[in-house]
C-alpha cells in the first residue's frame, strides 16, 4: 500500500430500504469511489417497513451519528420515516418532505434530497424542455418531481387515481393554482397538450412489466416527451408505447445515476464524471 493510500480515510457508505435485492447503488458508488481515487465500500442495509424495522433503522442512524458510517442513502419505504430522527434538513428535503441522502457533522444528522436535482439534470441531458408537464401519481417521487419542475418554472398538472393524495401533494408544495393544478385521473386531463409526461408511480416495475400507468385506448398528447421514473425493466411498457406513438421517451435510469453522483458529492466534496457510473451498470449512455 502506498503512503498516499494509507493516509486516505476508508469511507463506509450504504443504503437503507426494503427490499434492496435489485439495487444498482452498490455498483454506482463503487464506480464513484474508483473514479474519485478513494478507498471505501458501499453496503446494503435492508430495513423492513416500520414498525418492524424501527430498531434496525435507529441502529443505522446511530452508526452514522457516531461515525461508524460516513454516508447513507435512503430509499422506499424510509425516505419520510427518517425525518423525525434528523437534526437538520436541506431546503429541498424540507419542501419535498423526504430525505434520500444522510450524513453527520459534529454528531448532528443532516438530511438532503438529491432526487429533484437529479431529475432536472437528466431532463437537461435528454434535451426534454417545455413549459407544461403532467405528473402521474402523487407519492413521494411525485413530490420531488413537482418540486423540481415548479422551481424550474414549469406549469404542472398532477393527476392520480386517489384525488385526495394529489390534493395533499399540492398543499404540501405550497404552490398557487397558477403553477400547480390537480385534476382527476380521466382522459380529459390526460390528453391536454403537454410538453412532458412523467410517471412517478411504480406501475410497470419489475416483475409486473406488462403494466402501464397510461390507460388503454387513450392517445398520447401530440409532441409530448415521456419520462418514466421506473428503470427496471430497461424499457417499460409506458416507454415502449410512447415510442411506438412517435414520442421521445426515457426511463428513470439517468435520474438514478444523477442522484447517486450528487449524493457522492455531498459525502466527499468531489464532483465526478457520470460516464463511469453509466458504464458500471452496463450502459454507455441512455438514449431516447
Catalytic (active-site) positions: 79
Whether the Cβ atoms of residue 195 and residue 133 lie closer than 8 Å to each other: yes
Cell 419535498 sits at which residue? 96
What DSSP line would sit under 105-120, residue for residue?
ETTEEEEE--HHHHHH
Q: What is the CA radius of gyration of the chain?
A: 19
Question: Can you read off the three cell numbers belonging to residue 7?
Answer: 493516509
Contact 128, 196 (CB under 8 A): yes
Q: Counting Cβ atoms within 10 Å, is residue 268 exposed (0-12), middle (13-18) or buried (19+)?
A: buried
Is the preceding peptide bond at 19 cis, omega within 30 degrees of 0?
yes
Angle at 16 between CA 21 and CA 212, to 5 degrees: 55
Q: Which residue has the cell 435489485?
A: 22
Across the beta sheet with 101-105, what order do the strands follow?
A: 39-46, 10-17, 71-74, 101-105, 108-112, 88-89
User: Which of 57, 56, 7, 79 is closest to 263 using CA atoms?
Assistant: 79
Amino acid at each position: 500500500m502506498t503512503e498516499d493510500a494509507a493516509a486516505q480515510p476508508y469511507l463506509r457508505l450504504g443504503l437503507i430500504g426494503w427490499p434492496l435485492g435489485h439495487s444498482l447503488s452498490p455498483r454506482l458508488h463503487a464506480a464513484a469511489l474508483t473514479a474519485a481515487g478513494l478507498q471505501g465500500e458501499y453496503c446494503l442495509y435492508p430495513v423492513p417497513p416500520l414498525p418492524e424495522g424501527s430498531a434496525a433503522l435507529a441502529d443505522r442512524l446511530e452508526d452514522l451519528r457516531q461515525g461508524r458510517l460516513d454516508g447513507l442513502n435512503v430509499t422506499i419505504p424510509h425516505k419520510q420515516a427518517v425525518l423525525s430522527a434528523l437534526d437538520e434538513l436541506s431546503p429541498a428535503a424540507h419542501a419535498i418532505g423526504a430525505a434520500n441522502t444522510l450524513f453527520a457533522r459534529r454528531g448532528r444528522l443532516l438530511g438532503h434530497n438529491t432526487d429533484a436535482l437529479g431529475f432536472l439534470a437528466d431532463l437537461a441531458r435528454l434535451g426534454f424542455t417545455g413549459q407544461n408537464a403532467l405528473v402521474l401519481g402523487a407519492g413521494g417521487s411525485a413530490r420531488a418531481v413537482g418540486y423540481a419542475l415548479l422551481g424550474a418554472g414549469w406549469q404542472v398538472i398532477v393527476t392520480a387515481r386517489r384525488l385526495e393524495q394529489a390534493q395533499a401533494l399540492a398543499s404540501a408544495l405550497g404552490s398557487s393554482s397558477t403553477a400547480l393544478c390537480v385534476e382527476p385521473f380521466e382522459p380529459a386531463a390526460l390528453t391536454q397538450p403537454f410538453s412532458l409526461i412523467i410517471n412517478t408511480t411504480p406501475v410497470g416495475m419489475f416483475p409486473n412489466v406488462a403494466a402501464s400507468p397510461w390507460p388503454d385506448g387513450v392517445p398520447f398528447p401530440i409532441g409530448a416527451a415521456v419520462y418514466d421514473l421506473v428503470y427496471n425493466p430497461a424499457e417499460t411498457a409506458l416507454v415502449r408505447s410512447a415510442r411506438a406513438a412517435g414520442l421521445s421517451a426515457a426511463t428513470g435510469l439517468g435520474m438514478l445515476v444523477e442522484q447517486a453522483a450528487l449524493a457522492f458529492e455531498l459525502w466527499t466534496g468531489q464532483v465526478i464524471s457520470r460516464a463511469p457510473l453509466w458504464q458500471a451498470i452496463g450502459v454507455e449512455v441512455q438514449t431516447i
